[in-house]
Structure formats: structure tokens, C-alpha cells
Amino acid sequence: MPSPPHLPIGAWWAIDAVLVGLFLAFYLSLSSGRGYRITTSLGPIVGVLGASALAAYYHWTLDEVLPIYGSVLAGFLLAGLGRREELRKSIQAQTDGDPPTFSFATRVQVVAAVVLCGGLGIWLAS
């Protein structure tokens, strides 16, 4: 297997900052509800806290953590790619008190995005 490209730490910060911006732009556009917008805005912060906890526990460096964090964000973006209307309807149903529903294709896309981006993050961090 080829070795991953080595990017300087500043490049990883920039990539992750862009991915956070894309994540927020995509997911905040799905609903105007205050509660949804607050919890969505907290997502990247919770991710940083989780990544920091794992880094501290496993003694990882930023060279290992930042690629994984960016890959997780990319996974969330790929999971929703092309599914904006379905996600919007599901969020509205949840706001109305109904359980969210997702098509089989959306579920497959989410699982594939998580697996592919998770593997990419592990490879980039190695």
C-alpha cells in the first residue's frame, strides 16, 4: 500500500477549517429551526473535544489527529451529498415530533461514506 502524503501541520489546519465551514454551510442550510441550528453548530466543537480526548488517551500527535478529524468531517459531507431534500424533510418531520425516515439508498450512502472516510483518515494518519 502506498504511504500517505505528508502535509505540514498548517495545511491540515487549513483543510480542517475549510471542511468545518463546508459542514456548517451544508447542514445549517437544511433547517431554520433554532434547536437544530444550535446542535448542528456544536457538532464540530464536539468533534474537536472527542478528537482531543482520544489524542490525549492514545498519545497521538496533531499529525495523526487532524487528518482523522478532517476525514470524519468529509464523511459527514459525503453522507449528505445529493440528499438535501430528503434530509430537509426528515429534519422537518423530527421537528414536528415524528420519527425521521431515510430511504435505503441514503442509509447505504451514509454507511459507505463513514467506512470510506474512516479508512481514509486512518491511512492519512499512519
Predicted model pTM: 0.90
pLDDT score recorded for residue 122: 92
Query: For residue 68, which of 10, 122, 110 has the smallest C-alpha distance?
Result: 122
| CA separation, residue 7 to residues 49, 64, 70 (Å) | 23, 11, 13
Per-residue pLDDT of the chain (126 residues; tens, 9 = 90+): 799 988 999 999 999 999 999 999 999 999 888 989 999 999 999 999 999 999 999 999 999 999 999 999 999 999 999 999 999 999 988 888 899 889 999 999 999 999 999 999 999 998
Torsion of CA 1, 78, 106, 25, to 10 degrees: 170
pLDDT score recorded for residue 100: 85
> String of b and e for 18-34 (b: at least 16 CB within 10 Å)?
ebbeebbebbeebbeee
